[in-house]
Amino acid sequence: MDKALSIVIPSFNEEQSVRAVVQEARETLERYGYAVEILVVDDGSTDKTAQAAQAGGARVIRHRRNRGYGASLKTGITAATYDIIAITDSDGTYPVKYLPAMLDELQRADMVVGARTGNEVHIPLIRRPAKFVLGKLANYVSGTHIPDLNSGLRVFRRDMVMPYFPILPNQFSFTTTITLAMLCDNYAVSYLPIDYHKRKGKSKIVPWDAGSFAILILRAAMLFRPLRVFLPIALLCFIYGIVKMIIDLTHDPNISASSIFGLLSALLLVLIGMLGDAIATRLGRFNPNAVIGVNPREFDELPQLEEEAPKATIRN
């Protein structure tokens, strides 16, 4: 496996922590003989995030306005030098010490996710109920157990992810959507248990973001597994139609319009779901050339500092 990778770190107003994350990532991977490029995407920060990242030795790309977590990842993945991509957050929550093991696992998988199921996991209690419900919904849609749906620490090959750019959102649900998309398309996704530290500074995620995550999970289901959405609704309509018809026949020899409507709705929903499933199966994966959502006019790349951190050589 090529021992060279690009680490993409989206960052918005994280001047307190981004430099330490950049330095730790470089030192960890160079210790294992990797040639590493660290690319920080400053998503329109109003503080000194860009300067702190540069001081740590990162290559910095700056969005002219705040465009979102997912948009920053798209920018970084597109601009990265190497084909192996790692992503992590700039707030110090994800320990980059797990990256070497995740890169080793990538030899047997298409994407490796750091699942926050380790011994020290500090997820705020207010976010845990929504995380549990969304996880159950995602498990149902994908037909598999997902230990961590939206972990921000993962490694993958760029050519596996870029075909999905047209459907990947520009906000925090980027990781949720790419997880579901790759699982539904039968890519090999592996999970390695990791710890999750308390973040430095204030989180950008708010509790009502759970609604957006749920909508995007259903959207992914419509794109990849439409029958998993239509069949339960059709079943409810069918049960209603049958029960109402039985009640009608016990009181009157005529069948009511509502029972007929329920049965017809069930039939139509099944047919629509089957059509959607046939289209999803026939179209297959997205066209790798249809890369949408990355506009080079939307960002500026900062010049490199004169004194950069030394780059590791690639060992044989």
- pLDDT confidence of 136, banded at 50, 70, 90? confident
Q: Is 142 or 13 the better-scoring residue by pLDDT?
A: 13
Q: Phi then psi for 7, rounded to 5 degrees?
A: -105, 120
Radius of gyration of the chain (CA): 23
| Cα separations in angstroms, 301 against 59, 89, 169, 201, 304 | 8, 20, 23, 26, 9
Q: Is residue 314 helix, strand or coil?
A: coil
> What confidence score (pLDDT) does residue 278 get?
75
Q: 57 and 306 in contact (C-beta within 8 Å)?
A: no
> What confidence score (pLDDT) does residue 316 get?
42
- pLDDT confidence of 289, banded at 50, 70, 90? very low
Q: Looking at 60-69, 122-131, 150-159, 304-313, which range is the least confident one?
A: 304-313
The whole-angstrom separation of Cα 223 and Cα 225 is: 6
Determine the average pLDDT of the residues in 1-13: 88
Strand partners, 121: 196
pTM: 0.76
Closest of 3, 84, 83, 88 to residue 40, by C-alpha: 88
Residue 138 clears pLDDT 70, i.e. is over it: yes
Residue 133 clears pLDDT 70, i.e. is over it: yes
Written as six digits, the tokens of 117 are 């199921």
> What confidence score (pLDDT) does residue 191 get?
95
> What confidence score (pLDDT) does residue 125 get?
66
Highest mean pLDDT among 88-97, 142-151, 222-231: 88-97
Residues ≥6 apart with Cβ < 8 Å to 279: none
42-88 pLDDT, tens digit per residue, is 999 999 999 999 999 999 999 999 999 999 999 999 999 999 999 99
Share of the chain above pLDDT 70, in %: 80
> What confidence score (pLDDT) does residue 103 get?
95
Q: 115 and 194 in contact (C-beta within 8 Å)?
A: yes
Determine the average pLDDT of the residues in 109-119: 91
Q: 305 and 40 in contact (C-beta within 8 Å)?
A: no
Q: Is residue 311 helix, strand or coil?
A: coil
CB atoms within 10 A of CB 290: 11
- Report the sign of the C-alpha dihedral through residues 160, 289, 69, 89, in that order: positive
Kindly report the average pLDDT of the chain as a whole number: 83
Residue type, position 281, single letter: T
> What confidence score (pLDDT) does residue 313 get?
46
The whole-angstrom separation of Cα 308 and Cα 12 is: 23
Residue 298 clears pLDDT 70, i.e. is over it: no
Residue 290 clears pLDDT 60, i.e. is over it: no
> What confidence score (pLDDT) does residue 306 get?
60
CB atoms within 10 A of CB 235: 13
187-242 pLDDT, tens digit per residue, is 889 999 999 887 665 555 555 555 666 676 777 777 778 888 888 999 999 999 99
